[in-house]
Structure 1
Amino acid sequence: MQNDAGKIVYKRTISIMEIQYLHSLLFLPNRNYSLGPFLMKVAFPVSNLPNVLFSEPMNASSQGMAKGGAHHESSVKVPRSLASASVRRYQSFSFSESSHRLVFGVETNFNVGREGRGREEKLRYACDSVLDWRDYFDHHTLPLSRRNPGRWPNFPSDYRQVVAKYSDELQVLAHKLLGLISESLGLKSRCIEDAVGDFYQNITISYYPPCPQPELTLGLQAHSDMGAITLLIQDDVGGLQVLKDGAKWVTVKPISHAILVLLADQTEIITNGKYKSCEHRAITNSNRARLSVATFHDPAKTVKISPAPDLLAETSPPKYKGLVYGDYVSSWYTKGPGGKRNLDALMLDS
């Protein structure tokens, strides 16, 4: 791996890990446990959204999300051709010559976030500074005032059009899923949506190159997402793991044309812990590069998030402190992910 004008360029001839990518032994992946067919069905039910929307409130899909914060969504609302086209365009860009990718370097501003191509910044984690084994490209897609396709790749030629359409379709899906969660708790269908406000949506491509010593590093450190809900598609390589029952890391087998739904921290707060955010990470492998595309739906940084009042009572007090989302983001980047420690810090004594 070499540094070219401050950007990472991956070489397939790497044989020795650089020290900044080495994780503590406490946090290295356990590759001896995989998610079997039975657990797969229980922890990550595959649902078809049009049917789910008209089923009983606490259906299998919502139960799966409440317990583990994740399930696969095989929704016809996002055309399979569009999801497949998105992956193909992202792959074309991610596997293109590094000189092309370097044109779109990342720019960071706390008020608007970071956009462009870069590598993971060093984050404090268990008293160590460590880098994740990944490259990424971040698109600001919503609200429309943030969307500037001129900062996105223009190759393949229809890349920008596909990303914009994918963004619009996934916004609709995210609204429907949050509505389903609200209804499952006996709330008005727009309860969580109203608490979150207009989505700030980012689409992040993560590219994990082959790693010479995958047992010594992670593609992405363990964390739960900061916002409300994340919708993920991945290629057939696999490598995403979720923490099951707070004890075991299990690998999520990729399902063709399905979108993985990951609940994020603000949804856990709004539902007062009835739905849990999903702690997850990415492992690497030495043979194949991996690609995933995550679409994050977050509140604006000025929005204050707290448990929904209709879920609170004398027998059901708030479990989390309320706070402004921008302060939560600042804390997350200052302290580093550390699993769900940023969310745990908001928990009130019962």
Structure 2
Amino acid sequence: MRTVGSSFFEDLDVSEKLKYGCDQGSAASEGYGSRMLVSEKDDTVLDWRDYFDHHTFPLSRRDPSRWPIHPPNYRNVVEEYSEQMKLLAQKLMALISESLGLPSSCIEDAVGEFYQNITVSYYPPCPQPELTLGLQAHSDMGAVTLLIQDDVGGLEVFKDGEWVIVQPLSDAIVVILADQTEVITNGEYKSSVHRAVTNSNRARLSVATFHDPAKTRRISPAPELVAKSGPRYKEVLYGDFVKSWYTKGPEGKRNLDALLL
């Protein structure tokens, strides 16, 4: 997956990449884009990355003809990777459920059918990395994100009041729990605030596989956990949560904090 992703970003010129360009004004768009966000306060560039977003589940959303044909195995690799990441996400949700004394299917049942997106992010070398972030600090909106990265470090997680570097391991899949898992587990599991920092000398590539509920899904704490300690979060329509995330911006966990009781 890393190999085909790198090949698209590094072997094709801009005109070829733009043949797969997405509608950058739409949160639901699929394809290639370049993301540069500017701070309203001081014109500082916050994001510094190119990306390609693939819609992979449900299968009704999957249209490989929208994906690159370079290298020739690109589409087959993405399809196989998608299937394997879905299986892993299901296993993880079952283990989290069991760890809380819940039926193994509890969290997956609460999330419902996965809406899976795979985003390959390419962070070019940045001449002034102190002025940018590859990706600004945020927690993910959905249920669980599975991330792989190359050997160029850049992922940081906010822990105990400071930013901690997640050292890249070539064979590791980084599990990033997202906001809806925190709601469903009634705060027993926390979503992770993370960011990507840029590098002045080397490009960096990562692949994030997001597993989200449908926008029509209502998410609330598991009844079994509410019975023990009372609800800590309000019920939310996932589509409203996504709208808030894109309208107000992520800024850490402020959209999740708005649900706290």
TM-score bin (small chain): over 0.9
CA positional deviation for 1:122: 3.8
Mapped pair 1:233 → 2:148: yes
CA shift in 2, pair 1:143/1:124, >3 Å: farther
For 1:191-270, what aligned pairs fall within 5 Å after superposition? 191-245=106-160, 247-270=161-184
Cα RMSD, aligned residues only = 1.7
Q: Deviations over 1:220-239 (max 9, x none)?
A: 00000000000000000010
Aligned residues: 260
Letter in 2 for 1:293: V
Letter in 2 for 1:160: R
For 1:260-299, what aligned pairs fall within 5 Å after superposition? 260-299=174-213
State how far apart, in whole Å, the 1-side matches of 2:216 and 2:167 are: 37
Match of 1:139 among 54, 65, 84: 54
Q: Give the TM-score taking structure 2 as reference length.
A: 0.95
State how far apart, in whole Å, the 2-side matches of 1:346 and 1:123 are: 27
Q: Deviations over 1:155-185 (max 9, x none)?
A: 1001000000000010000000000000000
Which sections of structure 1, spanning at least 5 residues, go unmatched?
A: 1-85
Mapped pair 1:335 → 2:251: no
CA shift in 2, pair 1:226/1:129, >3 Å: farther
Larger radius of gyration: 1
For 1:170-185, what aligned pairs fall within 5 Å after superposition? 170-185=85-100
Mapped pair 1:346 → 2:259: yes
- Counterpart residue number, 1:316: 229
CA positional deviation for 1:322: 0.6
For 1:105-116, what aligned pairs fall within 5 Å after superposition? 105-107=21-23, 113-116=28-31
Structure 2 residue matching 1:204: 3-state secondary structure? strand
State how far apart, in whole Å, the 1-side matches of 2:242 and 2:43 are: 20
Letter in 2 for 1:327: D
Q: Deviations over 1:2-46 (max 9, x none)?
A: xxxxxxxxxxxxxxxxxxxxxxxxxxxxxxxxxxxxxxxxxxxxx
CA shift in 2, pair 1:155/1:300, >3 Å: same
- Tell whether the 8 Å contact from 2:36 to 2:49 is kept in structure 1 after alignment: no
- Counterpart residue number, 2:20: 104
- Counterpart residue number, 1:66: none
State how far apart, in whole Å, the 2-side matches of 1:125 and 1:161 are: 41
Which sections of structure 2, spanning at least 5 residues, go unmatched?
A: none
- Tell whether the 8 Å contact from 1:123 to 1:336 is kept in structure 2 after alignment: no
Match of 1:120 among 11, 19, 35: 35
- Counterpart residue number, 1:35: none
- Tell whether the 8 Å contact from 1:124 to 1:336 is kept in structure 2 after alignment: no
State how far apart, in whole Å, the 2-side matches of 1:244 and 1:126 are: 26
CA shift in 2, pair 1:109/1:243, >3 Å: same
- Counterpart residue number, 2:214: 300
- Tell whether the 8 Å contact from 1:270 to 1:308 is kept in structure 2 after alignment: yes
Q: Give the TM-score taking structure 1 as reference length.
A: 0.72
Letter in 2 for 1:299: P
State how far apart, in whole Å, the 1-side matches of 2:208 and 2:56 are: 12
Q: Deviations over 1:270-306 (max 9, x none)?
A: 0000000010000001100000000000000000000
